[in-house]
Amino acid sequence: MEQYIIKGGKALAGEVTIGGAKNAALGILAASIMTDETVVIENLPDVRDINVLLQAIEEIGAKVERVDRHTAKISGGQISLVSIEYDFIRKIRASYYLIGALLGKYKTAEVALPGGCNIGSRPIDQHIKGFEALGADVKIQHGMIQANAKKLVGSHIYLDMASVGATINIMLAATLAEGQTIIENSAKEPHVVDVANFLNSMGANIKGAGTDVIRIKGVSKLHGSTYSIIPDQIEAGTFMFAAAATKGDVTVKNVIPKHLEAITAKLVEMGAEVEEFDDSVRVVATKRLGHTQVKTLPYPGYPTDMQPQITAVLAMSEGTSIVTESIFENRFKYVDELVKMGASIKVEGNTAIIDGVKELTGAIVSAPDLRAGAALVIAGLAAEGFTVVEQIEYIERGYENFEGKMRELGASMEKVDAEDEKAIRKFKLKVG
Ligand code: EPZ
């Protein structure tokens, strides 16, 4: 088992380049098999969730060529299976996008129920409601979702909540349905827009992505395309908070500053300086940050995927802060780990009350999920002494070369095998 070992207390400084958005890439990869022609996807992050989905696409008969680390060429012309039941696919949430993609293209799909980060109950009733509205018959049997339709016909769908997954999934299926589909109360996240832009680049007719009403005029087929994925808003936000937590000075490059506004606003409120450029932001913190209140909300609100990171920073900020999680009911599991590092946090229902302490101290902690894992790394980078973060396979689902990028900013952080005591000793000797 691999783990991160971190010697905290160094101010991060320099430049870091952000990769492609994982959650956009997952939708885009699923969409890429909806044409028989070749699609080239650029700026793909090299992270576990993406590699698992590429494998799944290959297993059902698509041709996948990894042109380089961040580019894949995909041809969905020879798909022979519309049933996906590999154990590994259960591990990623976004396997459900293959239902929308296959249902749209072949009018039939069978995919194992999704897994993913355990951050709440994560139902998919809105996805199913959408497929049914388009005329599909959807059943859940033996752990599989089966969707079948004679034909798909456009429909008017009201989502009960602005679900990212349901919006993308319905958009995928509706792209190849007959007539017009309208999705009301659709999610407005940047990755929803990116998937829509990609589908349009393949010949789809989707309007309104990024607003709460999306209109899709069905087309009979899609064609090949070359497309570059937008930068990852959450990877960028994570580095911005790491910079602020360590009283650093970091320029986060290859970002769309507009997508980061909710994150930037909170950092500024807490006392950091954030300078925006065309495609980068610079975060500078010279003193201990202050307290704030934040509630996670759908875009353009403060993202739930940045909730653990802000909590980690507030744990060392001055005063009492309140963090309210309104999207997922079980996203505070990492708080016990921060408490091991000396944080003073009480969780009541969906609210964390944080009494900022002057300093966190290094400890052995375990990542309960992807973003919480990143938050523990931030805490470790700012803490006094050594921190070991276990279960980093969660972090590697969504962050490419996390330790390498942190090291380039001056962090003392290494990925080591938990059994390799020699490597651990060597690291400790090196960093003192
Ligand atoms: C996506 O999950 C992301 N995952 C999550 O990122 C992210 O936290 C989330 O959106 C919110 O931004 C991917 O894109 C693969 P939702 P998703 O459907 O689509 C409820 C990360 O760390 N709901 O927008 O699963 C649901 O329970 C991950 O990268 C229903 O009740 O999220 C939640 O409370 C973790 N029924 C809320 O809606 C449904 O049918 C929003 O979920 C669908 C959702």
Cα torsion angle, 115, 120, 125, 130, sign: negative
Whether the pLDDT of residue 93 is over 80: the answer is no
Closest C-alpha residue for ligand 1 atom 44: 163
Whether the pLDDT of residue 122 is over 90: the answer is no
Nearest CA-CA partner of 210 in 249, 171, 264, 262: 171
For residue 93, the Cα-to-chain-centroid distance in whole angstroms is: 10
- CB-based contacts of 211: which residues, under 8 Å, 6+ apart? 186, 188
Cβ atoms < 10 Å from Cβ of 293: 13
How confident is the model at residue 121, as a pLDDT? 66
Q: How far apart are CA 130 and CA 135, in angstroms?
A: 9
Write out the DSSP string of 369-386.
SHHHHHHHHHHHHHSBSE
pLDDT tens track for 273-320: 999 999 999 999 999 999 999 999 999 999 999 999 999 999 999 999
Residue 208 region by backbone torsions, left for phi larger than 0, else alpha for psi between -120 and 50, else beta? left
Q: Contact, 159 vs 147, CB < 8 A?
A: no
pLDDT tens track for 215-263: 999 999 999 999 999 999 999 999 999 999 999 999 999 999 999 999 9
Active site residue ranges: 117
Mean pLDDT value across residues 122-148: 93
Mean pLDDT value across residues 147-163: 97
Index of the ligand 1 atom closest to the CA of residue 92: 15
Structure tokens at 334: 């990492």
How confident is the model at residue 297, as a pLDDT? 97
Pocket residue to mutate for ligand 1, from 22, 23, 195, most atoms within 8 A of Cβ: 23
pLDDT tens track for 380-404: 999 999 999 999 999 999 999 999 9
Beta bridge partners of residue 4, listed in sequence order: 389, 415
Give residues (CB < 6 A) around ligand 1: 23, 26, 93-94, 117, 120, 122-127, 161, 163-166, 187, 189, 304-305, 327-328, 370-371, 398
| Opening angle at CA 308, ends 331 and 53, nearest 5 | 70
How confident is the model at residue 117, as a pLDDT? 61
Whether the pLDDT of residue 47 is over 80: the answer is yes
Beta bridge partners of residue 417, listed in sequence order: 2
Closest C-alpha residue for ligand 1 atom 16: 163
Q: What is the pTM of this model?
A: 0.96
Closest C-alpha residue for ligand 1 atom 39: 124
Whether the pLDDT of residue 87 is over 80: the answer is no
pLDDT category, 432, cuts 50, 70, 90? confident
Closest C-alpha residue for ligand 1 atom 42: 163
Mean pLDDT of the chain: 95
Whether the pLDDT of residue 345 is over 80: the answer is yes
How confident is the model at residue 115, as a pLDDT? 63
Index of the ligand 1 atom closest to the CA of residue 49: 15
Q: Which of 49-53, 311-315, 340-344 has the lowest mean pLDDT?
A: 49-53
Q: Residue 211 burial by CB count (10 A; 0-12/13-18/19+): exposed, middle or buried?
A: exposed
